């Protein structure tokens, strides 16, 4: 595909930088299959066009969140959400058992065969629960309508996330490293293949030098799109950098951030930044992070305030902020890009505003 066509697809489909995760291309490819074909088959709802611009273990997702929210709203008018969640849980339990059993398999090719079959299904469930959050966003009326299911939705989503990051991702990394040692190349490069490419390598039990070179370039930077049921991937430097500049990068001299109130209050303090996963607690500091996860909960209560890139009224940060009464502003989109460790900020969570003081 020509470079201009990548830009046209992104612009014409209203894709914006919606989220970032520490994931390689193989996981992104599994996500896109899960969010499109598998969700359509299981639920009757799907994401149409998706994009990701990545480098090494960092993926920035391009999504039309408003379109997803509207589509999910239409789904709610014709299907029972409680029954869908129940169906999702049954599928998840089956897939979790498969992953846990295959962990003991010594052959990395056999392990990856199972993982690559199951992983897109697991990720489709994250796509489903994220769609609920994109439907609700910061709309309290929509949240109220789903109030009897909020805790269940949060619990189910967290269960899926706790299979992805502690179990499946390390298992993939372990397998590709074993394959690399067997065939005398850097196995981590396999994590920058698409799903179909890696399946082909596993079937053939062979990787060619030109493929290794291609994967090496992708690890340094790639653009990946799903459009009209076809996938497109490029590591062309000018194209990747151009898309990153237009759709991902932000100006560094921004001093005021706007977001959504998770819990009200007004705090001034120094920034402690942790992009993904909180390692330590810094009492009295203002935590700046991409998202918060259930495993972070014990460390969150000592922060004076919390600022996140992502989040909505159903998100983990919203629940924790209310529970611990921590002034918090979520869904700023760019907090981790603009703020750095040691910055002095004023968090006005009453208004959903963050001011960088110095």
Average pLDDT, the chain: 94
> Has residue 315 got a pLDDT over 90?
no
The predicted structure's pLDDT at residue 200: 97
- CA dist 323 and 338 (Å) reads 28
- Tokens 């010594």 belong to which residue? 106
> Has residue 276 got a pLDDT over 80?
no
The structure tokens listed for 3 are: 């470079």
CB 256 within 8 A of CB 241: no
**More confident call, 34 vs 149:** 34
Task: Calculate mean pLDDT across residues 126-148.
Answer: 89
Assigned CATH topology for domain 256-356: Glucose Oxidase; domain 1 (3.50.30)
- CA dist 269 and 275 (Å) reads 18
> Has residue 185 got a pLDDT over 80?
yes
What is the number of alpha carbons within 13 Å of residue 72 lying toward its C-beta? Answer: 23
CATH 3.50.30.10 domain locations along the chain: 256-356
How far from the centroid of its chain's Cα atoms is residue 233's Cα? 19
The predicted structure's pLDDT at residue 84: 94
Task: Calculate mean pLDDT across residues 195-199.
Answer: 98
Helices (H) and strands (E) in the chain, counts: 15, 13
């Amino acid at each position: 595909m020509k470079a201009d066509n990548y830009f046209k697809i992104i612009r014409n489909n209203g894709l914006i930088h919606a989220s970032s995760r520490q994931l390689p291309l193989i996981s992104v490819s599994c996500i896109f299959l899960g969010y499109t074909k598998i969700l359509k088959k299981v639920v009757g709802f799907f994401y149409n066009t998706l994009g990701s611009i990545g480098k090494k273990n960092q993926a920035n997702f391009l999504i039309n969140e408003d379109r997803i929210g509207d589509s999910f709203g239409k789904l709610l008018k014709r299907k029972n959400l409680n029954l869908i969640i129940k169906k999702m849980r049954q599928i998840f339990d089956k897939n979790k058992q498969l992953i846990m059993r295959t962990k003991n398999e010594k052959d990395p090719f056999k392990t990856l065969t199972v993982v690559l079959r199951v992983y897109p299904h697991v990720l489709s469930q994250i796509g489903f629960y994220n769609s609920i959050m994109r439907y609700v966003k910061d709309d309290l009326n929509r949240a109220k309508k789903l109030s009897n299911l909020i805790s269940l939705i949060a619990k189910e989503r967290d269960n899926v996330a706790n299979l992805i990051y502690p179990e499946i991702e390390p298992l993939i990394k372990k397998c590709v490293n074993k394959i690399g040692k067997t065939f005398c190349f850097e196995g981590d490069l396999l994590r920058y293949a698409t799903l179909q490419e890696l399946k082909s390598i596993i079937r053939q039990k062979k990787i060619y030098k030109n493929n290794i070179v291609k994967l090496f370039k992708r690890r340094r930077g790639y653009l990946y799109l799903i459009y009209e049921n076809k996938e497109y991937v490029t590591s062309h430097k000018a194209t990747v950098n151009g898309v990153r500049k237009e759709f991902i990068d932000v100006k560094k001299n921004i001093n005021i951030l706007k977001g959504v109130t998770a819990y009200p209050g007004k705090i001034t303090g120094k920034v402690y930044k942790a992009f993904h996963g909180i390692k330590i607690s810094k009492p009295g500091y203002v935590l700046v992070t991409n998202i918060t996860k259930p495993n972070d909960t014990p460390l969150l209560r000592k922060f004076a305030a919390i600022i996140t890139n992502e989040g909505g009224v159903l998100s983990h940060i919203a629940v924790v902020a209310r529970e611990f009464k921590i002034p918090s502003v979520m869904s700023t989109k760019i907090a981790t890009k603009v703020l750095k460790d040691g910055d002095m900020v004023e968090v006005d969570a009453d208004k959903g505003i963050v001011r960088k003081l110095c």
